[in-house]
Amino acid sequence: MTKTFFITSSGTEIGKTFITAALIHQMKAAGKSIAAFKPLLSGFDEDAVAETDTGILLKALGRKITQNTINEMTPWRYKAALSPDMAAAREGKTIEFDALIEFTEAALRGGDDFTLLEGVGGVMAPIGQAHTVLDWIGAAQCPAILVVGGYLGTISHTLTAAKTLEAAQVPLAGVVISARGELPVSPEETAAAISRFLPDVPVAHLPDCGSQDTAWRNAPDLLGDLCLLHA
């Protein structure tokens, strides 16, 4: 039976794609078959696809970057690096929520050991006139992995996102602290504080792994820290 996870975040530009790529790499190394999708992306650059979220995930999967694989990975792509609803509006388009859910359901029905679905922005980012990422996660009906930062204020943002998911009855499979740059406290301290309030949720922390384009290969054992192989 395929295990499915929705990778979401407490905000934007925190590290969802890096974590997703690291999970793909580690699952493949563990001998597991895996599929991954980033259905919706704003800030897509046609001239630098390899550097976009779509290109990074395709590289982690070991798939060539072609027009077909781009379409399969990310059918909804917008140029402006804004919330999806705003980015789509800049191009005179709207995001059809029902079509997004139909694509999501088909993606999650695959026969691989694992399927990862990476969202866009944070839990409450708008993806249309009347829907947010939270609605998307709820419709996907799979557990969420919450990626958060190590900055001052992240504990509040993390717990707010976690409570929002809980209120929507979305199971929280784990929290990953993406500890990049200079931090006010150690990620271990941040993880301990989060765990006091989420005692039943695995909390992992990811050190700064460098800036090279395949740095996700250097990530520590997220599968073990999040207990995903036995989820």
The domain segmentation of the chain, as residue ranges, is 3-230
Say what the pTM is.
0.95
Tell me, what's the pLDDT at 121?
93
- 150-155 long-range contacts (CB < 8 A, ≥24 apart) are 150/177, 150/178, 150/179, 150/180, 150/183, 150/185, 150/187, 150/190, 150/205, 151/183, 151/184, 152/184, 154/10, 154/190, 155/190, 155/193, 155/194
Which of 25, 107, 110 lies closest to 74, judged by CA? 107
* Half-sphere exposure of residue 149: CA atoms within 13 angstroms, side-chain side: 17
* Angle at alpha carbon of residue 92, lines to 91 and 98, rounded to 5°: 100
Alpha-carbon gap, residue 158 to 11, rounded angstroms: 9
Alpha-carbon gap, residue 35 to 43, rounded angstroms: 23
Report the chain (231 residues): mean pLDDT per 10 consecutive residues. Answer: 93 92 96 97 94 96 97 97 93 95 94 96 93 97 96 95 98 93 87 97 86 83 90 63
114 DSSP β-pair partners: 3, 34
Tell me, what's the pLDDT at 211?
67
Asked if residue 125 lies in contact with residue 136, where contact means CB atoms within 8 angstroms, the answer is: no
Tell me, what's the pLDDT at 183?
82
Catalytic residues: 38
Distances from the Cα of 7 to the Cα of 93, 94, 133, 184, 212, angstroms: 25, 23, 11, 25, 22
Tell me, what's the pLDDT at 231?
63
Alpha-carbon gap, residue 171 to 15, rounded angstroms: 21
Tell me, what's the pLDDT at 95?
94
Which fold is adopted by the domain 3-230? Answer: Rossmann fold (3.40.50)
SS3 4: strand
